[in-house]
């Protein structure tokens, strides 16, 4: 039987949300990318973000550029970040693999922590690329990164610069409270442990670099993402508690205001970005949003039965979306 164009067909051994999530994260992959050019984007007076840029020969400003933003505890080196950049390069596009604040070994570039509401960072990146002369700019984000770039687009609304031609997101965490609750289910304890371990390790590194800003001890044991956000993220950024932070930072509040083409890919079996939260956010009621919800795919997995470029299905759909919208 042949392949139906654009339809996701999971690998025969990966027909569960957990299998898809884990396989995509840990499957060994090879990429044709060069090391790329490091670039610092100043997003606040004391804060810079590091991007890894892959420019086509000549760095033509009329070629599409895809700015890619990773998820919680990821980095510019995450497999999907490299995968999208690799596919973009093959299509003749530029790409910029961004590190969120403190990620990818960039703790010294900012005195702050990071959180899911810092959409202004990516607005700053967008405007720097606009000032440089790039004519067709796209953003892609996975999970937390998907929330950030959706929030940016929604906040810009009708005022989005003409150079922002589209946004593509995969399993975006638009409802942060619901995602934190889902992580507390017993079947998700491995993910919870992974995230908390990474967040605490990053916080300890920040405390070593900025001892006058961050306490090294005095916390009760932190075992969940919600506890981390309640005791560290929320108070640092001026929120009363995690719930207030989640309400403020979730892009579900502004997705109705998006006025650029937005591709939203999700899986109905995502273990910790519940499918029903996207339905409650009424994402499909905005005519600018192309909402695709597959039966399988897990959290940012989408490992297909097909080899080659289609193996990591969501990456291919993102580059395909850019190709369509850049015309």
Q: What is the pTM of this model?
A: 0.96
Return all residues near 270 (Cβ < 8 A) that are at least 6 apart: 17, 21, 171, 297, 298, 299
Distance CA 302, CA 68 (A): 17
Mean pLDDT confidence for 105-120:
97
Percent of the chain with pLDDT over 90: 95
Return all residues near 123 (Cβ < 8 A) that are at least 6 apart: 152, 155, 156
Distance CA 235, CA 312 (A): 38
pLDDT in tens, 67-106: 999 999 999 999 999 999 999 999 999 999 999 999 999 9
pLDDT in tens, 134-190: 999 999 999 999 999 999 999 999 999 999 999 999 999 999 999 999 999 999 999
Mean pLDDT confidence for 263-274:
98
């Amino acid at each position: 039987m042949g392949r139906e164009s654009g339809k996701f067909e999971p690998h025969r051994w990966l027909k569960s949300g957990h299998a898809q999530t884990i396989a995509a994260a840990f499957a060994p992959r090879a990429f044709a990318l060069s090391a790329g050019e490091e670039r610092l984007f100043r997003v606040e007076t004391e804060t810079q973000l590091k991007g890894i840029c892959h420019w086509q020969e000549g760095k033509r400003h009329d070629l599409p550029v895809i700015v890619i933003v990773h998820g919680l505890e990821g980095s510019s080196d995450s497999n999907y970040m490299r995968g999208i950049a690799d596919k973009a390069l093959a299509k003749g596009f530029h790409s910029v693999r961004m590190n969120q604040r403190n990620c990818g070994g960039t703790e010294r570039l900012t005195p702050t922590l990071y959180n899911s509401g810092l959409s202004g960072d990516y607005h700053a990146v967008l405007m720097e690329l606009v000032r440089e002369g790039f004519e067709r700019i796209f953003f892609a984000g996975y999970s937390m990164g998907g929330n950030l770039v959706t929030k940016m687009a929604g906040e810009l609304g009708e005022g989005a610069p003409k150079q922002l031609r589209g946004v593509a997101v995969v399993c975006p965490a638009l409802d942060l409270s619901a995602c934190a609750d889902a992580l507390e289910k017993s079947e998700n304890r491995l993910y919870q442990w992974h995230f908390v371990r990474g967040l605490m390790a990053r916080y300890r590194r920040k405390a070593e670099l900025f001892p006058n800003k961050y306490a090294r001890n005095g916390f009760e044991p932190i075992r969940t993402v919600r506890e981390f956000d309640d005791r560290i993220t929320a108070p640092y950024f001026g929120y009363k508690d995690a719930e207030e932070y989640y309400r403020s930072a979730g892009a579900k509040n502004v997705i109705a205001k998006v006025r650029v083409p937005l591709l939203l890919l999700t899986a109905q079996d995502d273990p910790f970005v519940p499918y029903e939260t996207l339905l409650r956010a009424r994402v499909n009621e905005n005519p600018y949003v192309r909402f695709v919800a597959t039966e399988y795919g897990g959290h940012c997995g989408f490992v297909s039965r097909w080899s080659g470029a289609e193996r990591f299905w969501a990456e291919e759909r993102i580059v395909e979306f850019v190709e369509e919208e850049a015309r």
